[in-house]
Structures are given as structure tokens and as C-alpha cells.
Amino acid sequence: MRFFIIFFMFVIPLFADLEKGLDFILDKQNEYGLWSSDSEREFIDTLKVLEYLHLHKGAKEELSLQRSLLNIESLKNAKSISIYSALITLINDGGTQQINSLKNLDGAWGASAAKQSNPLDTLIVINTLLDHGETLVDGDLVLKYLVSAQLESGYWNLSNEASVSKLELSARVLQVLRRLDKQGLGSLALTQLMNDIVDLLKSNIRSNGHYALPNTKEELKTTAEVYKALASFEQPSLLINTYKLLLNSQAEDGSWSDKPEEKVYTTSLVLGVLGLMDIPDTTNIADLALLKQGISIDKSSVIVGDNVNLSVLIFNLGDVYADTAKVNFYLGDPRQGAELLETQTLSSLLPGKSVRAQYTLETEGMQFNPTYFIVVNEDKVIPESEFNNNIIAYKLNIQGLNDPVQVDGPDLYVDSSSLSFNGHGSDGNLLLLENSLLNISMNIANIGNQNSGVFRFELKDGAELLAQQQVTSIKPGEIRTITLPWKPLSGEHQISLVVDDLNAVDESYEDNNAANTSLTVIGADVAVIAKKLNEGLEVDPPAAAYENMVFTVATSHQNADIDLIVKNIDSSFQAQPVSMSVTGKYQWNTSTAPAGDYKVIAYFRSQEDDTLLDTAEANFELKSSIGLRKLTPYLSKTLIEGGNIQPIEIQLTLANASNINSQWSLLWKVEDSQSNEVLKSIKEMNVDLLATQMSRTVYLNEKIAGEFDQGGEYTVIVQASNGELNYEGKAKFSLVAPFDLTVSNKLLPAEVSPLGRARIKTELKLSASGGEGDLTLPYKVQAISQDPKEVIVDSAEVSLALKSKEVLNILGQQVPDGTRVAVYVPYGTLGGGEDSPMNMFQQQNPQIRLLTVFNEELNFTYTPRGGVLSANQTSVTVLEFYQVLEDQTETGKWQGKLIGTHEIYLRGE
């Protein structure tokens, strides 16, 4: 298989500049070694930076960390809240006595003056303890607290911390639960809980890689926390879009953030997340990779005679799919002539995905701990950007056995995969601009068990000597990368590399010191390459209607202005691509362009006098295509009264995906909430779409009409077909039960003296027939009063009476007596009503009560916890009212929508 690799005079950054991100953080450190000292974020930002520096120590990180620890007492003294002081003490000298003394009876921590337990503060303490190698005392108690703090929705939330969303907080809880599980606190219930949270977090993925709740703004901070949480459960390939999103979201100053005040915090967080896995740079070819995180066996301990299932994940970290490749299993290092055990053929592997290979290791008769090697694409049939991640070793430890005695000595190793050109594999065609430099990288490994000592390598292009250099000693297991510039001419090249060409090293194996590869350089002063975008990847044309073409241009002319024109062969159609954010990239959407042969022409002009310096062309095909991009129905009404309904009109927009004229037959049907068909159109309606029309909106001939008595949600499905292709679009409407209108007349006053005057008052009352359906479900709780009305004292001796006189249904009517509403209070206790049902985890929440409407009112009481607020301190707690789904109480999923809130203000004694 041959391929083209394109190199340009400019460099397109594919990955974030992590060094620049680190420099941004270090530049924000003040003279005392702290961060954000001029804001309320001083402690939280400093703690987050210290966490990153501690876990990712390098030379710069170490210097900054030491500077912080020397001066961090100033932060400790500046804070009056004792938990912060205790954490600083822990970071400074490892002492845990102070932080453990601040733990509450429920096993959790709180940073408020009253030390009320708080999930966020508890997570911070646990992570700090575990990061510094400390033992978590009473871990089962804090685990119980975290589980109890979960809302019925499955999330965790802080009503008094708007900067931490419930999605972000829930991700941080999952991270800690995973750490507690690894600390030996695991159970089947915890495993199930974590799996449920994983599913909950994954449900919030967006197409661009962000994680965000519906109808909320995307935030890098939240996305990074969710990625960090899921990375412990999901294959890395499943998170590749989010990983790339984080990489590509770095600002010019090196930071990451959506909010200026959170730059230090978010940058430290993202740097730590990106450091979880060093995924190789991907280019526009495949990159099969074996990573330690992808290898596992099915036994925790092995004895001689066991058969052990070895599972290996093979990742495609590149940007195009990899065709069928082979994976080889060896007993020993194949670079030393080891025995091939088995070859397996993989199915095609899409970019950003992984596939699993399994092999059974037989230990019968083993006398030493064996080391197995796995190699993918060893025959290099598939071009890759990097071959050095195609081999990995796994040592199987068997009880009672020792490691084998190795043959002493160094063993220098290279092969054709050790050579790369600007990070690309070899053995192909290079489209390279004439006279531009090319970096040749050589990876020289020592697979022996002793230092190599000094040796020389020789690099040649045919008979032409490119380099002869000495290399300092390479340690056992080390791979030394050496990069040299090369300026090739057009034509065929035979590249050869020989290490230790003077035989200065006495090696245990001498037959693996040479590497050879061939390539063809195609030179040009200017170039333009035509590709189409397919799911974010650049692939070869032909293209279809409404697809995006990407044109990449390059030139050796310095400071040239570049203009592009797209035209078909007879020049009857012309278009001008637009510049993309990446230098040298242009984009054009084919939309309604007619099918046929096209060319893109790049004009390179002098910036000084507009002189035409050169042109470059590339040909591509735009094929005839027919289809729809989208089918979107709109309903004239979405809330309908049951019975013989007023007709609902259907408006339909057809978004064209054709470059030839097309005709579509339209039908519709209505399904109830159980997907049962309840109504359908009688006759097809035909609609013509011209090739030049980007979309067309029509009204369907038949309207939705007839008898609808069952309340609930209905789905209207509109289908479009041309005989071969079929599309559908959906819209929904809600049906409330039929209404009865009751008319009554009242005499005012009730008793009238002879010849006295009286008034007749006519009352109209709308109600659902049968008394059932949506009208019994509350949609709003309001008109809430409290006695006393003023701010109350934070004391367990205080009782506050609360009343709601308006519990309304979807029509704004009072719900009937007997309707139940759930009320939740985050601080304190509620009186009245009844205990809440079990949730899906078979737990009750004592801070939730079920209230019943009586005499068209809700009545209950509230009592603070007491002892939390000190004198002159004030706070607020928010009551939350929720629907009760009576038919779901057995499943534990009885909590419906939030339908009201009420604030209670508290002050200290």
C-alpha cells in the first residue's frame, strides 16, 4: 500500500502547548508563592495548582512547588476557616491530626464556620489526603455520606456554590468513589452506583466533545472533570473527541478557561487531565498503538498450570481508518528471535476507536516468569505515523517462580520502523516542497540488560553520507531519539541506518543493528491538495452535494497572497473557498453545485506589487447525488384538549442534499407514548425539490383530526421517500383529558328580604372529564407564606410554619385534594406529611417529605439544624418542591419536575 505525505513550509499545531500552559501558571505565582491572592479564589486556586505540581513534577514544577511550600504559611494565616489551615498543614508537613480532628460525625468535612458537612469540601479533603499518600480513616463512613448526598435525579448539587455545577460536582464525586473503591471499600452496590453515574455523565455528551446538561452553557471546567472521571472507566478511544477538544481549546496566553477569574484553576485542571495519558500525535494517516492501560488478564493470582486469558486493546490514534491488520503474540522479545505463538487478523479499525484481541497463556511446565510480547502491524502493511507504539511487553508473574536469568550485555536495536520523517512512517511517496528542510528521526533502543557505552551510527541516502555521529551510552530499556535535518532533492531515495557500525559495543545479539527504507520525493514550489471532510476527517474525493471540501495550499514563496477559485470543466460554475482558522487551509461547501469534474486553482501573488508568482491546480470529482439532509415537521398546536380535537396543521421543511432534481412522497402517522399507531394519513402527497433549492417548506394536505381521549404525549412522524431512500422527522404534542364546563349560579346575598335587591353570580369551572389525566398533576407551587415572616434564628428550638395556597395544574387550576407534592430542604428538618418512598438505590432521604393537598392548601413546618451560624452571620436555605409520579413509587423513580422554590433566611444567635 502506497501513500502520500504532505509537508509544508509552515507548521500546523495539532496539540496544545503544555509547556506554555505551565508557564502561564507559574507566571501567575506571586512573591509569596501563592495564586489569586487578590481575590476570594486564593485558597481554591492555590490548592488546585499545588495538586497539579505535586502529581506532575518536573524541573519547573519542583521549583515552583518548593517556593509555595516555603511561603504557604501566609495563606494559612490569612484564612480564618480551620479546614483550609488544616489542609495547608497536611501539604506542608504531612500531618493529618488537624484535618482528622475537623471531621464531622457523618465522616465528612465542611469549610463553613459551623463545619456543616458539604460534598465539595469533603471531596477536596479526600483527594488531598490520598494524593499525599495518607490513609483515609473511617472511609466507609464518608462513603455512606457521599451516597446519601445524592439527589433523586442521580446528581449531586450545591445550592450555595453556583460556580460548581451539579454535572461537575457529580463527576468529582465519581472520581472519589473510584479512589475509595481502590482503597478496599468496594462492594457490588458501589460498583452499580458508579456504573449508573458513568451512564448519567455519558448521557450529557455533545457532538463537539463537550459535556453539559441540557439547555446549559458549555464549560471547559465541567468537561475536563467529566473526562477525568470517565477516563477511569471508559476506553480512552471512546473519549478521543473530548481529549482533542481540550487540546485545541488553549488560549493564546497558554491558559484554558471560559471565565477570566477561573483561568488559574481551569488551566491547572486541564493540564492535569491531559497528563493522564500521553496519546501520540495523530496525522492524516492511521496510528495503531498498544498502551499499558489496554492490557489485562482474567486472574488476580496465577499458579503453574493455570490457563490465563490475556486481553489486549489495539487503538487507532490516527485520523483515518486502518484496514485489516495482523497482531502477533510472542513468548519473548521478537527483536531477539523469540517464538511466534499466534497471529490474529483484526477487523478494520476506525479512527479514535479500539478493538480487542485475546490469547490464552498456558503456564503448564513454566519454570520462570514468562514475558509475552504483542506486536501489531508488524509487516507494516498499513502506513502509520508512528511505529514505535506497535510493540508492548507483558510479564506474567506466577506464584513461586522467579524471573529468568538474562544473557548479560547491551543489545542495540533498530529496524525500518525506527526511521520517521517529520513524525511520519516511511516506505511511501513524499510530496515535499523543493528546498525545504525535512527532519529525519531515528529511534535507537537498547533491549539488553546493560548500558551500551558510547557508539557511533551512520546514516546514508544511497551512497551519500548524511551523518556519522557518536551517541552517549543508552541505558537498558531506553529508546534514544535523534533528529537531524535533511534537504532532499526530487527522486528516489534509499535511506540506511547502521548503529555501532564500528562494532565498539559487545552486544548479546548483533543482527538487529541496521534499518533500511525507500521513499520517493516529489518536489514542487507550490502545491494545492483537494480533500473532502468526512466526520471531521480529510479523505479523498469524490464529493457529494452539501459536503465540505478542504483545500490545503503551500508555497516556497515568502509572504505570498493566496487566492483560490473552484470551477467545473466548462467554467459554467465558479466558487471561491473561504479561509479556515488553520493557516493554509480553505473550505468550500458543494451545496447546489452541479455534478461533474472540477478543479481548484490556487493563485500565488506578490504582496508588494500583486505580481502573479505561480499557480497550482488539483482535480476532483463531484458526483451526482440525491437525498435529504433533514426533515423537520412543525405543528400548529402542541397542547391539545382531548375529545374531538381541533385539526392540527403540519408544516414540513425539507433540507435538500441533492444536486439533481428530485421528488418525494410524504406520509405521516401519529403514535402514542407506547409507540402504538393511533392515526395515519390516507393519501401520499408528492413534493418536488429542484437541484438549486437548498430547502423547501410545505404544508401537508391532510391535518391531524379525530377523537383523542387518552391524555399524554403523542409523536407525529412524517416520512419522505423517493422509492429508494427513506427519511423521517418527528414532532410532539401533549393531550390533556377532555374538559367539562360546569355552569352554576349563586344568589348574592344568600338570603334576601322581600322587595330586597340581589345579584346572581354565574361561575364557570373547567375540569377534566373523569377527574384524571394531566390536570391532577401539579405544575406549579406558589403563594407560599411563612410564620414568622422575618428572618429566623438558626436554632433547633425554632419552628417555622409554612403554607402554600396555590398548587396549580398545567391550566393554572388548583389541583384536587389528595394530590401529593415532595418538598426537599438541604439544611434542617421538615415537619408534617410523610416519609419519602425509597429511591432507585433503596434508600430514603430524611430531608424529603411528601405533603398532601388538603382544603386546597399545603401545610408543613421547618426547623433549622441549629448551632451552625455564629453571631452576626446570616445564610439562606432553599426549599424545593417536586412532582410525585404516583405510578413510579415502586420503581424508585417517583420524583418528577421541580415546580417551585421558597427561600428561608437564617441568622446566628
> What is the tens place of the pLDDT at every residue in 553-562?
877 676 788 8
Residue 579, strand partner residues? 586
Secondary structure letter of residue 84 according to DSSP: H
Grid coordinates representing 395 are 510479564
Residue 801, strand partner residues? 787, 861
The Cα 310–Cα 208 span in angstroms is 35
Helix (H, G, I), strand (E, B) or coil at 424: strand
The Cα 587–Cα 765 span in angstroms is 62
Residue 670, strand partner residues? 679, 716
Each residue's pLDDT tens digit, 215-268:
999 999 999 999 999 888 875 556 777 888 998 899 999 899 988 889 999 999
- Work out the number of other CB atoms within 10 angstroms of the CB of residue 764: 8
Burial group, residue 344, by CB count within 10 angstroms (0-12, 13-18, 19+): middle
Residue that the C-alpha cell 497528563 belongs to: 275
Residue 76: its pLDDT value, please?
46
Residue 334: its pLDDT value, please?
86
Residue 12: its pLDDT value, please?
30
**190 alpha carbon, distance to own chain's centre:** 23
For the chain, helix (H) and strand (E) counts, in that order, are 13, 49
Q: What is the pTM of this model?
A: 0.37
Strands 514-524 and 429-433: what pairing?
Answer: parallel
Q: C-alpha dihedral over 617, 618, 624, 629, to 10 degrees?
A: -100
The Cα 236–Cα 256 span in angstroms is 22
The Cα 212–Cα 778 span in angstroms is 28
Residue 861: its pLDDT value, please?
93
Residue 4: its pLDDT value, please?
34
Nearest to 317 by CA among 263, 389, 379: 389
Output phi, psi for 481, to 5 deg: -100, 125
Nearest to 604 by CA among 532, 670, 528, 672: 528
Output phi, psi for 752, to 5 deg: -125, 135
Residues 6+ apart with CB under 8 A from 91: 47, 50, 54, 69, 72, 128, 132
CA distances from 548 to 64, 534, 895 (A): 47, 8, 46
**CB-side exposure of 58: number of CA atoms within 13 Å?**
10
The Cα 787–Cα 890 span in angstroms is 36
Grid coordinates representing 359 are 490469547
Secondary structure letter of residue 722 according to DSSP: -
Residue 749: its pLDDT value, please?
55
Burial group, residue 176, by CB count within 10 angstroms (0-12, 13-18, 19+): buried
Burial group, residue 270, by CB count within 10 angstroms (0-12, 13-18, 19+): buried
Taken in order 99, 105, 110, 111, the sign of the CA dihedral is: negative
DSSP 334-370: GGGTPEEEEEEEPPPB-TT-EEEEEEEEE-TT--B--
Grid coordinates representing 353 are 476507536
Residue 378: its pLDDT value, please?
82
Output phi, psi for 406, to 5 deg: -85, 155
SS3 readout for 408-422: CCCCEECCHHHEEEC
Burial group, residue 75, by CB count within 10 angstroms (0-12, 13-18, 19+): buried
Residue 828: its pLDDT value, please?
87
Residue 447: its pLDDT value, please?
87
The Cα 288–Cα 313 span in angstroms is 10
Residues 6+ apart with CB under 8 A from 842: 892
What is the C-alpha end-to-end distance of the chain, expressed in Å? 81
Strands (E), 593-657: 596-606, 612-622, 628-635, 639-641, 643-648, 650-656
Output phi, psi for 517, to 5 deg: -155, 160
Residues of the chain falling short of pLDDT 50: 1-15, 70, 76-81, 278-282, 434-435, 768-773, 840-842
